[in-house]
Amino acid sequence: MWIEGEVVGRVDWNDKLFSLQIRADIQPFIAGQFIKLSQVINDKRVARAYSIVNAPGGDLIEVLAVSVEEGQLSPNLQQLKVGDKLDVSPKASGFMTLEEIPETSFSGKQLWLLATGTAVGPFISMLETDEPWCRFETVVLVYGVRLAEDLAYKEQLLQLERRYPNQFKLVFSVTRETLPEAIQSRISTGIQSGEIQKLAGVEITPQNSQVMLCGNPDMISDTNKILLDMGLAKNLRRAPGQITVEKYW
């Protein structure tokens, strides 16, 4: 059920937000999937899901996590040092992958990736593969956080913007402070008002867009309602649509 993982690197983005690089012999995964990390705490096994941030193919897995106050596992993960061991699920799971997006007339010219907080991770994994760039004319990532210091992987994202200057649109939403390079509206509000589409230079339409949403469940339900009003539909295997979601809690 569990294999041993070893922490081989870590990055502290701020006093709550951190990334762990873990060496563990997991089976091949698909960008967008998650693994489970686990520890036995007070004689009880605690296991939680964490999306993989790096692209498939390397020999490490990287996760981005926030230490949740009063949380059972995440404060322990934050304490891990290089050389520490933890349990890892041997196989990644999850359906928020580009494979699940249909290759039909609904397939979409634009891929919209909407993330709050740590949920930027699985989208970075996808953006570091060739697939989104081969399949979509435009890829928009909207990354919503409370504060500028919560923008993990900002440099890597700006590098992707330089690598795909005509194809990649990067929109930061920083809701609790004013930042020149970010909008201050929440993702839901920014889409409802059209502020985000204007910045990205593309519209969201059922004919042309595929939208993936990940992270805070309230952001997902609020934004989902707005997308349904715009004529988009949930993407199901038996009925292809345009909206694919993964709620973190």
The two three-digit tokens of residue 228, written as one number: 């349904």
- Edge-to-edge strand order for the sheet containing 34-41? 44-51, 34-41, 85-88, 3-12, 17-23, 61-66
Least CB distance from residue 94 to ligand FAD, whole Å? 6
Least CB distance from residue 105 to ligand FAD, whole Å? 30
Q: Answer with the entry of ligand NAP, ligand FAD, none that 73 interacts with (C-beta below 5 to 8 A by kind).
A: ligand FAD
Q: Of all residues in this chain, which one has the CB nearest to ligand NAP in the complex?
A: 117
SS (H, E, C) the chain: CCEEEEEEEEEECCCCEEEEEEECCCCCCCCCCEEEEEEEECCEEEEEEEECCCCCCCCCEEEEEECCCCCCCHHHHHHCCCCCEEEECCCCECCCCHHHCCCCCCCCCEEEEEEEHHHHHHHHHHHCCCHHHHHCCEEEEEEEECCHHHCCCHHHHHHHHHHCCCCEEEEEEECCCCCCCEECCCHHHHHHHCHHHHHHCCCCCCCCEEEEEEECHHHHHHHHHHHHHCCCCECCCCCCCCEEEEECC
Within 10 Å of residue 190's Cβ, how many Cβ atoms?
23
Q: Answer with the entry of ligand NAP, ligand FAD, none that 63 interacts with (C-beta below 5 to 8 A by kind).
A: ligand FAD
The smaller minimum CB distance to ligand FAD, of residues 51 and 209, is found at 51
Least CB distance from residue 32 to ligand FAD, whole Å? 10
Least CB distance from residue 117 to ligand FAD, whole Å? 5
Q: Answer with the entry of ligand NAP, ligand FAD, none that 145 interacts with (C-beta below 5 to 8 A by kind).
A: ligand NAP
Q: Of all residues in this chain, which one has the CB nearest to ligand FAD in the complex?
A: 71
What residue type is assigned to position 235 of the chain? N
Q: Which residues form the interface with ligand FAD (CB under 6 A)? A: 34, 48-51, 63-66, 68, 71-74, 94, 117-118, 121, 246, 248-249
Strand-pair category, 17-23 with 3-12: antiparallel
The smaller minimum CB distance to ligand FAD, of residues 64 and 126, is found at 64
Q: Which residues form the interface with ligand NAP (CB under 6 A)? A: 16, 66, 68-69, 116-117, 144-147, 150, 175-176, 186-188, 216, 218-219, 222
Q: Answer with the entry of ligand FAD, ligand NAP, none that 176 interacts with (C-beta below 5 to 8 A by kind).
A: ligand NAP
Least CB distance from residue 183 to ligand NAP, whole Å? 10
Q: Answer with the entry of ligand FAD, ligand NAP, none that 186 interacts with (C-beta below 5 to 8 A by kind).
A: ligand NAP
Q: Answer with the entry of ligand FAD, ligand NAP, none that 246 interacts with (C-beta below 5 to 8 A by kind).
A: ligand FAD
Least CB distance from residue 209 to ligand FAD, whole Å? 23
